[in-house]
Structure 1
Amino acid sequence: MKSMARFVADTLRGPPVPPTLPGYRQARSRRRQVFRYVLGMGTLALVSALFGFFFALFPPSFYLYLAAPIAVAVLVAIWALPETEKPLPAMVSFFFFAFLISLCVWPNYLALALPGLPWITSNRLFTVPLFFAFLVSLSVSSDFKRRVAEPLAHSRPAMIALIIFVGLQFLTIAFSWNPARSATLFVNAQLEFTMIILVSLWIFSFEKNARLFAPLCLFFGLYQAGLGLGEYVSQSVFWADAVPEILKGDKFLVSKILSGQVRYAVGTHRSQGTFTTSLSYAEFLGIVQPFMLYIVFFWKNIFVKVLGGLAFILALIAIILSQSRLGLVATIVGLLLFSLILALRYWRIHRNSLLSPAIILAYPIAAAGFLALTVVWNRLSNMVWGGGETQASNVSRMEQYQTGFQKVLDWPFGYGMGNAAKQIGMVSADGMLNIDTYYMLILLDNGIIGFISYATIFIYAIYKTSVLSVNNIGSSAYHTIIIPISCALTSFFITKSVLSQEDTHSFIAVILGLAISAIYMDRHGSSAEKAR
C-alpha cells in the first residue's frame, strides 16, 4: 500500500524539477501567471469603479479623502527607494529659498483659480515640490536624515511638543463640524509650518545659510517698508489695479483686502504691504527688526551696517503708518531684549567694565520712565495702549476671551481646525466670523493639551536661545545669529495674544528651524561637521 501511495503521489507531482542555476529562478506556471494577472486587473477595475462611483456621488469637498490612497501609495514608493547617498540638495535648497522669498515679497492671498483644481497660491507652488524633494532626500540619504534628526533630537522638549501638537491637529478632525475643511487646513499646516521647520533644520545645518538669513531679513524689511511708505503717499494699496482677474481666486476676499484698511476715527489709510491686514504687516516688520540690529552690531562691512540702521528706522516708520499697536510692542520688546543681551555679553567679556552693569541696572529706571511717558504724552499713549478709537477692539477681545474660556471648559479636547471663530460666534462689520487672539484659536481648535504643546515649542526655543546668546561667546554665525532669533521669537509669542492671523507663521517656522539648528550647532558644531 505504501508503494502504491508513493506511485500516485509521484504521478501527480510530475517529473522531478531540475536544479536551478545560481542567479536564476524557476519560471512560474502559465496557469499561475494568468491567475495573478486576472486577479490584479480585476482588483484594479473594481477599485477604479468604486473611485468613479464615489467621485460622482460626493461633492468636491470630499475629493481630498479620495486622494488619500493615492497619496499613501506615493509615500510608500518614496519610502521604498534604495539608499544612494545622492539626495536632491539643489532642488530642496531652490524650492526652500524660492518659497521664503515669495512668502515675504508676494501676496499669498492671490491665487490662480483653475476649474476642478485647488487654488494655486505662491506658497503651494513651491511647498508641494519642496515636500516631495524633501521626502525623497530623507529616503535615499542617511546624511540628509542625520542633519535633520540630530538637531531635532537634541531639542527633545520641542520635538515632543511638536509631535503632540501635530497629532492633536489630526485627531481633532474627528470632532469638527466640517471634517473636510479641517482636513484641508491640517494638510496646509503640515506643508506650510511643520515641514518648513524640518526643511529649515537641513538648510541651516550649513553655516553659510545661517549667515545668509540676516541679509535676507534686511532685504525683506526694506521691501515691505518701501511698500508701506508708498501706500501712505497714495493712501491706498497702490498696486491693486495691476492685479489681473485670473489671480483673484476669492474675488470678494481679494477685493476686500486690496481696498485697504482705514481706522475711521483717524481717517487715514493703514499700510499693509503684501499682507492681508495691517496687523500682520506690522507683526512681520517687528519680527525682522532684530535681524537689522544684528547687522548693525555684528556685520563687518560699514555700508551694510548703515543700511541695517536705516532699514530699522524705515521699518519703525512703516509700523507707525500701519497704526498697529502690536507692531510697536514687538519693536519695543525686540529692542529692549536685544540691548539687554548685548549688555550681558559685554559684561561676560569685560568683567571689570562699569558700562554693562550700568545699562542693566538702568533697565528698571528706563522701563518706569517709559511707562510714565506713555501716561503724560497722549500721542505715545494712544500708539502703545490705544485711545478711544481702539476701545472697541479692546472690548471685543475681552468678550472673546470670556466666551472662549467657557467653550474650552465645555469641551477641553478641541473642536477641530478652523472652528474657533464659529465657537466664539462674533461677526465683524462685513458679516464674517472673527477671532482676534491666536491663543484662544489654538485652545478652541486643538484643546488645552494642544495649546500647552504649541506654547512649549516657543517657550523652549526662547529660553534656550536667550541663555546661549548670553553664555556662549563665539565668532561663528551660530553664536551670534542666536541673539536676534531670541528677540524675534519673543516678539512673535507676545503679539499672538492679540492677533490670530497666520500670515507670518511660515516665516516663524523658518526661524524656529534656524533656532533649533543654532542650539544644536552651538554645542556640537565642530564634532558634527567632522562626523559628516
Structure 2
Amino acid sequence: MATSARVRGSGGLARVVQPLRRARDIVFFPARAVLPLYHPQRSGLVTLGRRFIGLAVIVFVSMVYGLLSAILPPSMLLGAAAPLAILALFVIWALPEADKAPTKLLLRCYVLFMILAIVWPNYLSLSVAGLPWISFRRLFGVLTTLLLLVCYSISPKFRRDMAVTLSASPWLARFMLGFLIIQIIASLISSQPSVSIGRLVNISLTVTPFFFATLWCLGSNTRTPEWWVRNMLGCVSVLMVIGFFEFRAEHVLWVGHIPSWLQINDPSVILHLTSQVRGTYRVMNVFGNPLVWGELVAMTIPFAIHLMVNSRSVSALALTILFDLAMVLSAYWSGARLSMVGMVVAHATYLLLWGLRRWIKERGGLVGISTTMMYPAFAVVLAVMIMVVPAVHNRVLGGGATQASNDGRHEQIRMGLPKLAMRPVFGYGPFQSAEVVGWRSQSGFLSIDSGFLSTAVDYGVLGFIAFYGTMVLGAGLLIRAGLTDPSQGYPLHLAVATTMVVLLNTRLVLSQTDNDQVFFMLVGLTFALLYRSKQARGA
C-alpha cells in the first residue's frame, strides 16, 4: 500500500512539472541553422519577445483610440476610425471563396433596412449619454453593407449574378456607376473635405447599399419585381394611415410620446416636429417636411395605376381605384404643389403609355389608337384647366400665398449659376450647395429648393449629367421594353418609367434627398426588369 501511494504522489508531481518543462523548452529553444532555401527557425525567446511586442502595440493602439473617442468631437471621430475601416475592408477582401454566402441574412437585412428607411422617422435615433446619435437607418446600413461586401468577396455566383444583371444595359450601368465614382471624387476635392467625406460615408451606408442590394435581390431571381412593389406599397399604405390620423389631429402623432432614449436635443429635430400650416394643416408624416412626403406619394401613384390596369375582376378594379383615390387625397393633404403636379404627371404619362401599349397589342382595336391620337387634345384641355380654372389652379399650382416660394427659387438660380461656373466639373461636395449659394429664407434659414441646382453645385456638371441621365435613360429603356414586351397585360416597366418621369418633375422644385434611397432601389429594379426582358427575348 505504501508503494502504491508513492507512485501516485510521483505521478501528481509529474503532471505539474512536465508542463513547466515544455514551457521552458519552448522559451529557451535555441535557433537552428538551416539550408539557405528555408527560413531559419527562431529561438523561443525571440518568438516570445515578438508576440509580447505585438500584444503591447495592440494594447497601446486600443488605449489611444479609447482616449481619442473620449476627447475628440464627433465630427473628428471619422478620421480616427478610417484605419479600422480600411483594415476591415482588407479582411473582407482576403476572405476565402465559399460555396455558400450569407444571402438569406442579407435578404432579411435588406427588407428590414427598406422598412426602416421608409416608415421609421430618421430623427428618432438612439440617444445615449456621451455617445453620438445612433441612427437606426445607419446602424442597419452598416450591417447590410458588410453583408454585401462579404457575399461579393466569397461567392463567385453572387458576383456573376450582379455582373449579368448590370450587363442588361451597359450605358445605364455607366451612368449609375459613374455617378457613384463622381460622388467620391467630389468629396475628396471638396472645399471642405473633412465635412464632405463624412457625408459621403453616411450616403455610402444609408443610400448606396439600396442599389446593389436591389440589383442582386431582383436580378438573381431571389425575389420578383412584383414582390418589391408589394413591399413598397405596403410601407406607403402604413404611412397613408399615419397621415390620415395626423391630418385629423393636426400635429405629428408622436409629439409628447417620444421616450427619453429616442429624444435628441437639437434645433433641427424640434423643427421637424413643428406643425406646418398653409391655409390648412400640412401632413408631414415621418419625414418632418410635407414636401418629402408629397414626393413619395407622387412617386408611388404609378404602381397603384399599374395594379388598376392589370385588375382581373370588378372587385379588384374597385379596390385599386379606391387605393388610387386615397393616394391622391394623401397628396392633397401634404399641401405640396409638387405632389399635386406629380399626381397629374403620373396619371397623364401612364395614360399615354397605356394607349400606346394597347395600340401595339391590339392592332385592330380602336381604344388604343383613339387614346394615342387624342392625347394631345387631352393634354391641352388639362393644361387650360390648370391655368384658367381657379379651383384647379389653386389646388395644383397654388395661389398667391406661394408666390414667395416662386420668387425664392428664381433668386436661388440667379445666385447659384455663378458659383457653379467657379467649379463646374466636380462641384463643391455633397450637401454643400445651400451654404455655397447662400440664399436665406425670411426666417433666416439657409435653403435651396431646386434639386437640379443643388445636384449641379454639389457634384458639378458631370454629376448632374450622370444622376439625371440615369433617370432619363432608364425611363427610355423601360418604355421601349415595356411597349414591346410579349406578355399579356401591362408590364411593370411602364409604371417604373412613369415614376422616373414623376421624379424628374418633382426634383425641379425639391432638393431634399430623403427619398434618394427609393430612387436607388428603382434603379436596381430597372436593371432587373431590363435583364428579365432580355432573357424573355432570348427565350
**TM over 0.5, shorter chain:** yes
Q: 2:141 aligns with which of 112, 115, 127?
A: 127
Q: 1:440 aligns with which of 428, 453, 470?
A: 453
Q: 1:336 aligns with which of 326, 330, 348?
A: 348
**Aligned-partner Cα distance in 1 for 2:443–2:528:** 43
Indicate the residue corresponding to 1:350 in structure 2: 362
Deviations 1:423-457 (A, max 9, x none): 11122344321111111111111111111111221
**Aligned-partner Cα distance in 2 for 1:124–1:301:** 43
**Aligned-partner Cα distance in 1 for 2:481–2:506:** 24
Deviations 1:362-418 (A, max 9, x none): 111011111111233102112223221100000000010111111001221311222
Q: What letter corresponds to residue 129 of structure 1 in structure 2?
A: L
**Aligned-partner Cα distance in 2 for 1:448–1:285:** 29
- CA distance 1:260–1:380, shift in 2 (3 Å): same
Indicate the residue corresponding to 1:464 in structure 2: 477
- CA distance 1:226–1:37, shift in 2 (3 Å): closer
- CA distance 1:118–1:509, shift in 2 (3 Å): farther
| 3-state DSSP of counterpart to 1:353 | coil
| 3-state DSSP of counterpart to 2:151 | helix
1:499 equivalenced with 2:510 (yes/no): yes
Matches within 5 A, 1:242-253: 242-253=257-268
Q: What letter corresponds to residue 531 of structure 2 in structure 1?
A: Y
1:209 equivalenced with 2:221 (yes/no): no
Deviations 1:61-86 (A, max 9, x none): 21101111111111111111111121
- Alpha-carbon offset, residue 274 of structure 1: 1.4
| 3-state DSSP of counterpart to 1:274 | coil
Q: What letter corresponds to residue 511 of structure 1 in structure 2?
A: L
**Aligned-partner Cα distance in 2 for 1:426–1:18:** 73
Deviations 1:331-377 (A, max 9, x none): 11111121222211111111111211110111110111111112331
1:327 equivalenced with 2:304 (yes/no): no
Q: Higher mean Cα deviation, 180-189 or 302-311?
A: 302-311
- Alpha-carbon offset, residue 308 of structure 1: 2.4
**Aligned-partner Cα distance in 1 for 2:226–2:384:** 40
Q: 1:490 aligns with which of 492, 497, 501?
A: 501
Indicate the residue corresponding to 1:220 in structure 2: 235
Q: What letter corresponds to residue 258 of structure 1 in structure 2?
A: L
Q: What letter corresponds to residue 259 of structure 2 in structure 1?
A: P
- Alpha-carbon offset, residue 499 of structure 1: 0.3
Structure 2: segments with no counterpart, 5+ residues:
1-30
- Alpha-carbon offset, residue 519 of structure 1: 0.8
Indicate the residue corresponding to 1:404 in structure 2: 416
**What is the percentage of aligned positions where both structures have the same residue?**
28
- Alpha-carbon offset, residue 15 of structure 1: 7.3
- CA distance 1:143–1:175, shift in 2 (3 Å): closer
Structure 1: segments with no counterpart, 5+ residues:
1-12
**Aligned-partner Cα distance in 2 for 1:104–1:53:** 37
Contact preservation (8 Å) 1:218, 1:308: no
**Aligned-partner Cα distance in 1 for 2:32–2:123:** 72
Give the CA RMSD over aligned residues: 2.7
1:150 equivalenced with 2:164 (yes/no): yes
TM-score (norm 1): 0.88
Larger Cα-atom Rg: 2
| 3-state DSSP of counterpart to 1:492 | helix
Contact preservation (8 Å) 1:345, 1:473: no
- CA distance 1:353–1:72, shift in 2 (3 Å): same
| 3-state DSSP of counterpart to 2:252 | coil
Contact preservation (8 Å) 2:485, 2:491: no
- Alpha-carbon offset, residue 58 of structure 1: 4.8
Q: What letter corresponds to residue 381 of structure 1 in structure 2?
A: H
Indicate the residue corresponding to 1:510 in structure 2: 521
- Alpha-carbon offset, residue 196 of structure 1: 0.9
| 3-state DSSP of counterpart to 2:128 | coil
**Aligned-partner Cα distance in 2 for 1:304–1:220:** 20
- Alpha-carbon offset, residue 34 of structure 1: 5.0
- How many residue pairs were aligned? 507
